[in-house]
Amino acid sequence: MTHGSATRARGLGPAAGAVPLTPPPSARRIAAWAYPVVFAGLGLLAVQHVGIGLAALAEGGDAMGALLARAWTPTLAAPATTFAHVLDTLSMTIAGTALAVAAAAVLAVLAARNTTPGPAVRSLALAMIVGCRVIPDMVFAIFFVAALGIGPLPGVLALGLHSIGMLGKLFTEAVEAADDGIGEAVAATGAGPVRRLLAGIFPQAVPSMVAVTLYRIDINFRASVLLGAVGAGGIGMDLRTAFGFTDYREALGISCVVVAVVFLVEAVALGLRSLLIGGGRASGLPPVRGTRVPWTAGRTVTHVAAWGGLLVAAVACWRSGATPDAAPATAAGSLRALTEFFPPDFAPVLDMLGPGLAEVCAIAMAATFLGVLGGLVLGLLAARTVAPHPAVRAVARAALAFLRSIPDLLLVLLFVAAFGIAEGAVAGTCALSLFTASFVGKLVADTAEEIRPGPKEAILSTGAGRVQELLYTVLGQLTPRLAGHSLYALDVNLRSFLVLGIVGAGEIGFALSRHIRSLDYDVVTAIVLPIFAIVLVVELVSASLRGALR
C-alpha cells in the first residue's frame, strides 16, 4: 500500500459522490446477514414444531416443582452400594482414559509430521484418530454391550476408543510443536530413533499431554454416567433405575452424589494440572552431590504423580476388567457383534424414519436456538470484558459452573420425569437447551474475555451508550466465533438423540430404546446411520460458513 494519497488535498480523491451508499454484495456480507436470520427462523420454526409454548413451559414448570416436592428429601437406600457404583464409574473413567492415552500417544507419534515413519503410516494414523472422534462414545458403548454383555468393560472400551479422537489430535499437535533442534542434538550424540523420541521430543510434549489428559478425565467422568445407563455399569444404571421406578427421593439422592463427584473430579483435575504444570520450576540451584539427582519439590511432585497415576490406572483397569486376558473374548465378541449390526435393516423403521428424523432435527434446532440465546446472555455476563459489575460476573460464573456439573443424562431424566414421556420431545428439548446453554455459555465467556479493550474505549469515547457499544464490540469482534459456537452446539444436539434414546423420549428415541432392548442391532444401525449423515451435512455447512465469515 502506498501512502501517497495521504497528502492528497481535499476533493482530489475519487469524488465522494462516486462511492455507493450501500456496500457492494459479497459472499461474506450475504453470509453474515443470512446466517443469524436463517438460524433464528429455523429455531423459531423448530420451537413451534416441537410444541414449546408458554403454556407448555408453565405446565412443565409446575410439574417440575411437584416432582422436586415429591423428591424432597433425598435419600440413599443403600449408601454403600451407591458409593461402590460411584467407584465403579470412576474406575471406568480412569481405565478408559488410560487406555486412550496409551493408544493416542502411539498414534500421535505415527501421525505427527516430525516423527512419522512415512506418509502412508501418517495418513492411516490420522484416519484412525478422526474415526474415533466421529463415532460418539454412546455408539461404541451400545456396540460393546452387545458384544460383551452388561458390565464395566464395554464402558471402558467405549470411553477409551472415543477419547483417542480428541487425545490423538491434541497429542499430535503437541509433538508437532516440539522443537526439532533438541531431537537433532540428541541424534547427534549417536542415539537411535527411539531414544531420540524419548529424550528429544517427549520431554517437550509431556506438559501439554498431561494437561489434555486431565481435562479429558473430567469430560469422561460426565460421559461415563451416561454410559452406565446403556448397560456399562456404574452409577448411571442406578440413576436410570431410580427414575424408572419413579423413586424420586432415591433419584435425587443419587443425583446429588453424582453432581458432587463431578465437582470433585473437576477440582482434583484442576489442582493436579496447576501442581504438575507449574511445579517443575525449582527456585534456586539445588545442591549437587556426586551423580545423584537431588529430590527438589518439583521432582518429588512429578514422580509421585507419575508413579501414583500409573498405579491408579492399573488398579482401575483391573477393577473394571480391562486386563490382557479379556482381549481374546473382546475381539471374538466384537467380530460377532459386527455381523449383528451390519447390514442395517431399514424395513421395521422405514415408515417412521422420515417424521422421526424431522423430529430429531426439530429438537436439536430448537434446543440449539434456545440454548444459544441463554448461553449468549449468561456467557457475556460471565466475561470480565462485558459484565456490568464484578458481582454479576461472579453470579453468572457460578451459575455456569453449576449447570455444567449436571450430566446431560440427568437433565433429560429429570425433565422427562416431570413432563411425562408423552411430552418427551418437549422435555428433551428443554433438557438439551439447558445443557446447551451451559457449554455455549462457557465458550462465549472464554471468547468474550479476549475482546480487545482498545476498540471498546474508542467507541465509548464517541459518547456511545452501553448497548450501542456492546453491539459493536461484541458482534464486531466475535461474530465468526459465535457462529462457530452455535454450529458446534447444533452438532452436539443432533448427536444427543442418543441420550433421548436411552430414556425413550421422542419418536426416534423411543424406537432406538425399543430396538436396543429387543437386541435388533441391525435396526439400531439403520436408525443411527441417517443421523450421522445429517451431522456430516451440518459439519460441511459449518466449515464453509466459517470460511465465508472469518
Partner 1 sequence: MNHGTDHIVEVDSLVKTYGETRACDGVGLTVTAGELVALVGPSGSGKSTLLRHLNGLARPDSGTVRVLGVDVATARGRALRALRRRVGMVFQQFNLIGRLTVLENVLTGALGRDPLPRYGIVTWPKADRTAAIEHLDRIGLADRAYQRADSLSGGQQQRVAIARMLMQRPELVLADEPVASLDPESAAQVMDLLFRICLEDRLTVVCSLHQIDLALAWTRRVVGLRDGRVVLDQPTGALDRERLRQVYVPAAPVAVGAGA
Residue 271: closest CA among 341, 184, 211: 211
Q: Which is nearer to partner 1, 263 or 472 (CB)?
A: 472
Q: Which is nearer to partner 1, 185 or 464 (CB)?
A: 464
How far is 40 from 53, CA to CA, in rounded Å? 16
Q: Which is nearer to partner 1, 360 or 474 (CB)?
A: 474
Give the amino acid at 48: Q
List residues near partner 1 by CB under 8 A: 1, 3, 5-8, 10-16, 18-19, 21-24, 33, 452, 454-455, 457-465, 467-469, 471-473, 475-477, 479-480, 550
How far is 213 from 512, CA to CA, in rounded Å? 32
Q: How far is the CB of 465 from partner 1 (least distance, A)?
A: 6
Q: Which is nearer to partner 1, 12 or 55 (CB)?
A: 12
Q: How far is the CB of 5 from partner 1 (least distance, A)?
A: 4
Q: How far is CA 101 from the centre of its chain?
A: 17
Cβ 400 vs Cβ 445: under 8 Å: yes
Provide the 3-class DSSP secondary structure of residue 477.
Answer: helix
How far is 154 from 144, CA to CA, in rounded Å? 5
Q: Which is nearer to partner 1, 7 or 283 (CB)?
A: 7
Give the amino acid at 144: F
Cβ 229 vs Cβ 243: under 8 Å: no
Q: Which residues, in sequence order, are CB contacts of 83 under 8 Å at separation 6+?
A: 257
C-alpha cell, 198: 524419548
How far is 260 from 252, CA to CA, in rounded Å? 12
C-alpha cell, 177: 510443536
Q: Which is nearer to partner 1, 133 or 481 (CB)?
A: 481
Q: Which residues, in sequence order, are CB contacts of 303 under 8 Å at separation 6+?
A: none
Q: How far is the CB of 463 from partner 1 (least distance, A)?
A: 3
SS (H, E, C) 296-322: CHHHHHHHHHHHHHHHHHHHHHHHCCC
**C-alpha distance across the termini of the chain, in Å:** 23
Q: Which is nearer to partner 1, 27 or 350 (CB)?
A: 27
Q: How far is the CB of 380 from partner 1 (least distance, A)?
A: 15
Q: How far is the CB of 230 from partner 1 (least distance, A)?
A: 44
Q: Which is nearer to partner 1, 36 or 344 (CB)?
A: 36
347 exposure class (CB count in 10 Å sphere: 0-12, 13-18, 19+): exposed
Q: How far is the CB of 469 from partner 1 (least distance, A)?
A: 8
Sign of CA dihedral 428, 429, 430, 434: positive
Q: How far is the CB of 392 from partner 1 (least distance, A)?
A: 18
Q: How far is the CB of 39 from partner 1 (least distance, A)?
A: 16
Q: How far is the CB of 313 from partner 1 (least distance, A)?
A: 46
Q: How far is the CB of 31 from partner 1 (least distance, A)?
A: 13
Residue 76: closest CA among 262, 319, 258: 258
Give the amino acid at 333: G
Q: Which is nearer to partner 1, 17 or 181 (CB)?
A: 17
Q: Which is nearer to partner 1, 14 or 181 (CB)?
A: 14
How far is 268 from 90, CA to CA, in rounded Å? 13
